[in-house]
Each structure stands twice: as structure tokens, then as C-alpha cells.
């Protein structure tokens, strides 16, 4: 068991917004439920900046897996990392299935999540803290 406040894992990721936009156009918006939960899609919306929000949330999901030291090929689905917004608007995560088990096994009780983007790149940092 890790002492409270110990950093258990840290992941960082960057997503090219133009690449994300091209993928969205190729898929014509179909199959988004493979990557995002219904709650995430509702939060993202469909306004002019929705691709930036999609890219930011993808970056959070990738950074989360890096923080836990697992990959998509390890029996993990994109929807196992659910990105949500706190009342303040700050990003947060809720883990499901295998990732929730790993979170408990590693005594991670708090996630520090940060996301930012320009018009070309979305970046995210995720830090798992023991409690």
C-alpha cells in the first residue's frame, strides 16, 4: 500500500486536432460510441469546437492508460475511461471495468487531470495519487 499523497502514476498525451477531424469525417461521426460514453458525447456537443473537445478527451484517455501502465490491447476499451466535467468545468475521470480494479489495487484515490489545447493540438496530463 502506498502512503497517502504518493504519486502512483503519471501519463501525458498529445492529439493532433486535424488528424482527429479527418478521422471524424471518414467515420462520418459513426461509431463514436466505441470511444465515448453517452455522457461524454452529450458534454462534447456539436458546436464549432466539438472536435477540439473530442481530441482533448482522447488525450485524457491515452494519458490515463499511460499513468496506469496499460494499453488498449490489454483488454481495455476506450469507454473504460470516462471523461467528465466537474462543476467548475475542470476535467475529471471515472474508471470502469478492469481500470477500476487497477485503480483500487494500486490504492489510487484521486486523479489530477489537466487538459489544454490550441487550434492544432490537444494535450492532457493525468496523475494518480494514493489516498
Can you tell me which residue has the cell 472536435? 51
Partner residues linked to 115 by β-bridges: 124
**65-79 mean pLDDT:** 91
Residue 27 pLDDT:
67
Residue 1 lies in a domain: no
**Model pTM score:** 0.92
Instruction: Give φ, ψ of 117 to 5 degrees.
Output: -155, 155
The band of 32, judged by pLDDT with boundaries at 50, 70 and 90, is: confident
**Does residue 62 lie in a domain region?**
yes
Higher pLDDT, 67 or 28: 67
Q: How many domains does the chain have?
A: 1
Q: Which three cell numbers stand for residue 115?
A: 487538459
Q: What is the pLDDT of residue 28?
A: 66
pLDDT higher than 70, residue 61: yes
Boundaries of domain holding 34: 7-130
The domain that holds 48 is classified in CATH as 3.90.470.20
Q: What is the mean pLDDT of residues 67-81?
A: 91
115 occurs within a structural domain: yes
Distance CA 18, CA 98 (A): 31
CB-facing half-sphere around the CA of 41: CA atoms within 13 A:
11
Q: Is residue 2 part of a domain?
A: no
Amino acid at each position: 500500500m502506498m502512503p497517502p499523497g504518493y504519486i502512483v502514476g503519471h501519463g501525458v498525451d498529445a492529439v493532433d486536432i486535424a488528424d482527429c477531424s479527418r478521422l471524424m469525417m471518414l467515420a462520418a461521426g459513426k461509431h463514436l460510441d466505441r470511444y465515448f460514453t453517452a455522457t461524454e458525447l452529450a458534454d462534447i456537443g456539436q458546436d464549432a469546437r466539438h472536435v477540439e473537445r473530442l481530441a482533448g478527451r482522447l488525450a485524457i484517455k491515452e494519458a490515463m492508460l499511460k499513468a496506469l501502465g496499460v494499453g488498449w490491447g490489454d483488454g481495455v476499451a476506450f469507454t473504460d475511461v470516462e471523461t467528465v466535467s466537474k462543476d467548475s468545468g475542470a476535467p475529471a475521470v471515472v474508471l470502469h471495468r478492469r481500470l477500476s480494479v487497477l485503480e483500487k489495487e494500486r490504492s489510487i484515490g484521486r486523479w489530477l487531470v489537466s487538459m489544454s489545447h490550441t487550434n492544432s493540438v490537444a494535450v492532457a496530463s493525468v496523475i494518480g495519487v494514493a489516498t
